């Protein structure tokens, strides 16, 4: 199986790490995410591009956990991140474990969880061309009585 390198989408995704938590905001889709513990460590590992194999190996070492278990969890979690459009193929990353920037929490390995929140999605313009007229300006709906 080819283990292609992945990295965080560099357009429209902003993220910050605070201790063992990461907040990720997807400006394009109006979503935000909270990643805690192992999920935060996996995310941080991909911020500069890496392969699933390299990340799993580094995290398994750091947590003292089974490589098979960690690799399965990392693979499943990155699939979720790819499906959400947060991770994309990284043509420049090599997937070398030495390049993986890992912040390992001193804790037991646990299933990573992606907490997704969509309560800001109504602020996003999904189709700009639909909300403007021929002059290029949006119009307010007719006022209620």
Partner 1 sequence: MTASAARQYFAGCGTLFDAAAEACSSYDRCYTIAGRQVVVRTAGAELTTRTSPALAQPSTQQFDRTASDLVVEMWDSATSAVPIGQAPWDPDDLGPLGLVRTYCDDRFLSAVDVHTASLSLFDRATSHGRFWLEDARRMAYWQSASPLRLILSWWAASRGMQLTHAAAVAGPTGAVLLVGGAGAGKSTTSLTCLLDGMRFLGDDYCLVAPGPPPIVHSVYTTAKLQRDALDRLSELRRVVRNTDRLHREKAILDLAGPYADLVGGSAPLRAIAVPRLTGQLRIRPATPGTVIRAMAPSTVFGLFGATERTLAVLARLAADTPGFVLELGDDAGEVARAVAALAETA
Residues interacting with partner 1, by CB under 8 A? 12, 14-21, 23, 25, 27-30, 32, 34, 36, 117, 119-120, 123-126, 128-129, 131-132, 135-140, 143-144
Smallest distance from partner 1 to CB 35, Å: 9
Spatial distance between the Cα atoms of 98 and 41, rounded to a whole number of angstroms? 15
Smallest distance from partner 1 to CB 130, Å: 8
Instruction: Please name the residues in contact with 91: beta carbons below 8 A apart, sequence gap of 6 or more.
Output: 5
Instruction: Please name the residues in contact with 71: beta carbons below 8 A apart, sequence gap of 6 or more.
Output: 52, 53, 56, 57, 60
Smallest distance from partner 1 to CB 106, Å: 16
Name which of 19 and 92 has its Cβ closer to partner 1. 19
């Amino acid at each position: 199986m080819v283990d292609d390198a992945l990295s965080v989408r560099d357009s429209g995704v902003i993220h910050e790490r605070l201790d063992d938590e990461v907040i990720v905001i997807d400006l394009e889709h109006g979503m935000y995410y909270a990643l805690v513990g192992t999920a935060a460590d996996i995310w941080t590992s991909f911020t500069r591009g890496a392969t699933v194999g390299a990340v799993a190996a580094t995290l398994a070492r750091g947590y003292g956990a089974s490589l098979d278990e960690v690799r399965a969890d990392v693979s499943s979690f990155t699939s979720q991140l790819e499906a959400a459009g947060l991770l994309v193929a990284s043509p420049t990353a090599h997937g070398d474990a030495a390049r993986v920037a890992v912040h390992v929490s001193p804790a037991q390995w646990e299933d990573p969880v992606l907490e997704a929140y969509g309560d800001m999605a109504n602020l996003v313009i999904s189709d700009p061309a639909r909300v403007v007229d021929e002059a290029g300006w949006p119009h307010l709906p007719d006022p209620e009585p």
